[in-house]
Structure 1
Amino acid sequence: MRKFEHFACFDWSGQAVARPKGLALATIAAEDGARPELLRPKVGWSRGAALDWLLDHAAAGTDMLIGLDLSPTFPFVDAGGYFPDWEHSPADARGLWALVDGLCAEDEHLAASSFVRHDEARRYFRHGKGDTGDRFGSLGTGRLRAVEHHQRRTKQANSASCFNLVGAAQVGKSSLTGMRVLHRLAGRIPIWPFDPVPETGPVIVEIYTSIAARAAGVAGGRSKVRDADALHEALANLGAPPPAPLLAHDDHSTDALITAAWLRDAARDAELWHALWHPPMLDDAIRRTEGWTFGVK
């Protein structure tokens, strides 16, 4: 499997505001001794600025592996469709991205509020206490993608359903806003595993930051780091020096830093690196409709 000269991680956010507090980006170069860097615009990140950053690296052909902490799709293979019995349910991931972006065209800041308010789409989501759509599913957790079922079975992670919009662990809103960004990339950066991995240039993968935290030895079963000592220890376990001093050790910034360092560390283990790109459960149907979380074997 190819190597990369740079690694990056976006910790994502579905907050429907101009500059979500949860949006963070870290990068690290491949060479030994390179330290991770938190990239923080003075005014904070917007999803539009994140899209521009990605497009700039697409145009430059930067040899970078970029992790996005979001789900690029909804479950499909369990029910033969993202939204069973809805006539506009797409046949594949790119069709889903186009549907989400189209229905949210009037939403500012690349938010996705219109999608979950749509008369048909809203039926598939849990919106709040006492407000669960009739197509949400009989399981209390909500429907899961194949990779999420596999994560839970093998205890590699404990992903939540993207159809759940309730609580601190919900990932539906960040995933929907991420789908809008993926659609607007218009194929200018390959997205694994939907696209073949090119020999050069940037590649996007879906990541799950708790997998990186576990690999970094974050203590006590926690997945979040909120102080300098814990961050430096986690990075050291991944062979990375501390970053420049942070203004604050919020878990969005530390997630991004640790995950960027984890991507680089994984690339140094040839056997692990090959396994991450070739998970045995990833078949053609899953590749086309649901994708896979990079790091889940």
Structure 2
Amino acid sequence: MAAERRPPFFFVCHYDYILMMRHFSSFACFDWSGQAVAYPAGISLAVLDAHADAKPKSTAPAQGWSREAVKYWLLQQAEQGSDMLIGFDLSPALPFCDDGAYFPGWEQSPGNARQLWAMIDGLAADEPHMAASQMVRDHPEIRRYFRHGKGDVGDRFGDLGTGRLRVVEHVQRQTGQAASASCFNLVGAAQVGKSSLTGMRLFHQLDGRMPIWPFDPIPETGPMLVEIYTSIAAMDAGLRKGQTKIRDRATLIGALDRMACLPPTRLPDYSDHRTDAIITAAWLRQTAPQHRYWQPEALSAQIAETEGWTFGVT
């Protein structure tokens, strides 16, 4: 009798459809930014091959990354069928599960993440650089749900201390993995709303040409996007909570060494955007083969359709 042939992938049941564990041959991470300019200084990309002696590469066009250039790069990976797991440091959706709607009390509130992306991209279509700053400030209904500045808080923002959170953000706070801020907050050092809204525009413009976990099943081949949180990767690399930014080569080398990753060749600078991307690409390589990260206990079908999930939060 011929020896049993085992498939290169194995399947696991998860909420209402099948997810598939698979191996990737490369990993990438985009540190992201909500800055409403042509070339946001905060956008940085790092790429790392799967083999143990690979070095992370920090790459960018000569003038820096624009969001259009990021979209073009992603579509190239999709066209080429790159076997790549790509992390984005942003929230792909607004809170939904707490009130059963992104914008509770507004009859035009979208019913799922893809409808939300389409709405945000459509309403902000006239804003350059894939920004959404003017739309969220000027729309008579949507502006009511956001904190825009000191003393400028929408009447439907919610808890003035924290603001509404996604389920995964509550889990992050409960486990101590991160002190997540509300996507409805658009002001202060902890604000993540602007970058997340620009990310939603990007995801809509990808037009389904690259799967995004957990909104889509894991494909057998080709690239896939996941939401990541760079501070989680940094803490796993040995940095202390609240002190997760790296701005020098020696600290970067030490953090990468803890993740069994060789350091990159000398970089032109050691901005925290560049090092965040490098550390998180190495962390993705280390964590992606671990089954538990693909099946968080709290992740349900409704959450997967409406809010998404931060990869690495269990």
Deviation at 1:220, TM superposition (A): 6.7
What CA distance in whole angstroms lies between the structure 2 residues aligned with 1:174 and 1:144?
Answer: 16
What CA distance in whole angstroms lies between the structure 2 residues aligned with 1:220 and 1:16?
Answer: 29
TM-score relative to the length of structure 2: 0.92
Q: Contact (CA 8 Å) 2:31, 2:276: kept in 1 or not?
A: yes
Report the equivalent of 1:287: 304
Q: Contact (CA 8 Å) 1:25, 1:38: kept in 2 or not?
A: yes
Deviation at 1:139, TM superposition (A): 4.4
Structure 2: gaps (5+ residues): 1-20
Task: For 1:1-297, list aligned pairs within 5 A.
Answer: 1-117=21-137, 118-219=139-240, 221-267=242-288, 270=289, 273-297=290-314
Q: Contact (CA 8 Å) 1:103, 1:114: kept in 2 or not?
A: no
Deviation at 1:17, TM superposition (A): 0.2
Amino acid in structure 2 at the alignment position of 1:126? R
Q: Contact (CA 8 Å) 1:5, 1:64: kept in 2 or not?
A: yes
Deviation at 1:154, TM superposition (A): 1.3
What CA distance in whole angstroms lies between the structure 2 residues aligned with 1:71 and 1:138?
Answer: 19
Q: Contact (CA 8 Å) 1:216, 1:234: kept in 2 or not?
A: yes
- 1:205 is paired with a residue whose SS is strand
Deviation at 1:122, TM superposition (A): 0.6
Amino acid in structure 2 at the alignment position of 1:160? A
Task: Please tell me the root mean square deviation across aligned C-alpha atoms, in Å.
Answer: 1.0
Amino acid in structure 1 at the alignment position of 2:297? P
Q: Contact (CA 8 Å) 1:225, 1:251: kept in 2 or not?
A: yes
- 2:177 is paired with a residue whose SS is coil
Structure 1: gaps (5+ residues): none
- Number of residue pairs matched? 293
TM-score relative to the length of structure 1: 0.97
The percentage of aligned residue pairs carrying the same residue is: 63
Higher share of residues assigned helix: 1
What CA distance in whole angstroms lies between the structure 2 residues aligned with 1:177 and 1:3?
Answer: 30
Q: Contact (CA 8 Å) 1:100, 1:179: kept in 2 or not?
A: yes
Amino acid in structure 2 at the alignment position of 1:203? M
Larger CA Rg, structure 1 vs 2: 2
Deviation at 1:249, TM superposition (A): 0.9
- 1:230 is paired with a residue whose SS is helix
